[in-house]
């Protein structure tokens, strides 16, 4: 069975920055494979495009430019906010505003988002709302572990059930 729309796909992969020899980002080695339904918008479109037509056992190796992955780095997504917004009863929680910490935040309309602490001064905090992988070219190597028809319940829920997937 080949990878095409509405197939349940299970892949083992290693993701590195830029090239196969780049810095390791993550791997499924010695873990469950990545499980997803092909063609419903769960994955980076170029990731899916590079898997199209492969079948169980096939190997893959391909790169995706940053612009087609998590986007280019946007300096406009760095926002400086008053340090005081993080205070509770006049104090900022110890360790909260450490550079690199990812904070759950909410805008004025109640929309939830995450931002990374990029810089801290006496009165302000610079928050980076770029995706952590923005500006990074990706390189995937791996193999297709399995391809099967997605069950109707999986299509209805938008994710794989059972082994390698979501458990209700």
What would the pLDDT profile of 110-133 be if each residue is shown by its tens digit? 999 999 999 999 999 999 999 999
Q: Give the global pTM.
A: 0.83
Same domain, 88 and 123: yes
Q: How many domains does the chain have?
A: 2
The pLDDT value recorded for residue 162 is: 72
Within-domain flag for 46: yes
CA distance linking residue 81 with residue 125, whole number of Å: 5
Separation CA 62–CA 147 (nearest Å) = 19
Which residues constitute the domain of residue 11? 7-70+134-157
Are 98 and 147 within one domain?
no
DSSP 157: H
What is the per-residue burial (b if ≥16 Cβ within 10 Å, else e) of 21-38?
Answer: eeeeeeebeeeebbbbbb
CATH number at residue 152: 3.10.50.40
- pLDDT tens digit string along 27-44? 999 999 999 999 999 999
SS3 of residue 50 by DSSP = helix
Encode pLDDT of 135-161 as tens digits.
999 999 999 999 999 999 999 999 998
């Amino acid at each position: 069975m080949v990878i095409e729309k509405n197939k349940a796909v299970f892949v083992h992969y290693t993701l590195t920055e830029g090239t196969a020899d780049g810095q390791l980002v993550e791997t499924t080695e010695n873990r469950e494979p990545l499980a997803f339904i092909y063609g419903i918008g769960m994955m980076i479109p170029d990731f899916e495009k590079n898997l199209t037509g492969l079948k169980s056992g096939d190997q893959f190796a391909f790169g995706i430019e940053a612009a087609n992955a998590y986007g280019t780095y946007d300096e406009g997504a760095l926002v400086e906010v008053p340090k005081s917004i993080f205070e509770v009863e006049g104090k900022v929680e110890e360790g909260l505003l450490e550079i690199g910490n990812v904070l759950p935040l909410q805008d004025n309309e109640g929309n939830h988002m995450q931002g990374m602490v990029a810089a801290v001064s006496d009165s302000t905090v610079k928050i980076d709302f770029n995706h952590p992988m923005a500006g990074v070219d990706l390189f995937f190597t791996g193999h297709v572990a399995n391809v099967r028809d997605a069950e109707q319940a999986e299509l209805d829920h938008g994710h794989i059930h059972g082994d390698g997937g979501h458990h209700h």
